Amino acid sequence: MHRPSGSLVALVLLLAFAVGCTKPAPLPQAPQTVDYIVGAPDELSILVLPDPVIERTVTVRPDGMISVDLIGDVQAGGKTPMEIAAAIQESISRFKRDAVVNVTVVSSPSQFVTIYGEVARPGVFPLDSETRVSEAIGRVGGTRPFANLDGIRLIRAAGTGTQVINVDLAAISEGDLSTNFVVQQGDLIVVPPTILAKIGYAMQMVLFPIQPFLSGAAQAGAIYAGASGIARGAD
């Protein structure tokens, strides 16, 4: 039986050691939430100290108002939790000396993300907690078999323009988390089909022109093309 040479064994051991020592890329840092803008129908937790303590969980109404003990309605929509707390503290100080108010966001269904393309259930879902791209895709049933995992685009409004961010889901699944960004309010995630799938979809449209073809993949191709155009324009 032929035995591998000592140099070959050493090379294999060296490669195994290098792979074992490779550290996965860390997660990108989550954005700060101090500037979160509250909207309807967000759920807020209100705590007013000292005794007697007032502790309530309230839902922001469509008119942007919430109801607070002793002072009635307070404007919450369009403000940060710190601004809401300051407004409550100013009003309630007439009834409660040395009042200290804390307002936190319990859930944030006013924030939403849209996902199109090669996913099981394309559509819109609310952001009720910190969510990264991989989690967002998981919430819509994951990717379909012909998804281009390293060509995903995260499209985000940036001032008066648009920012297109590359996401590599294949790398994320292998431990490289550097593109697993935290999604933000209004983000659009596009999961395009592979090149072979695009060719197949195009042939289907040619062979069956009368048959409506409104699948998520077709939408993804159109949106992906638009996103690529935006990216080229930004360069």
85, 74 Cβ separation under 8 angstroms: no
118, 217 Cβ separation under 8 angstroms: yes
SS3 195: helix
Closest CA relative to residue 136, chosen from 120, 151, 158? 120
pLDDT in tens, 82-129: 999 999 999 999 988 889 999 998 888 888 899 999 999 999 988 877
Q: Is the pLDDT of residue 132 over 90?
A: yes
Q: What is the pLDDT of residue 216?
A: 45
Q: What is the pLDDT of residue 36?
A: 80
pLDDT in tens, 31-50: 555 568 898 889 999 999 98
Task: Tell me the domains of the chain and their CATH numbers.
Answer: 43-107 (3.30.1950.10), 112-234 (3.10.560.10)
Average pLDDT of the residues of the chain: 81
Q: What is the pLDDT of residue 1?
A: 52
Q: What is the pLDDT of residue 214?
A: 46
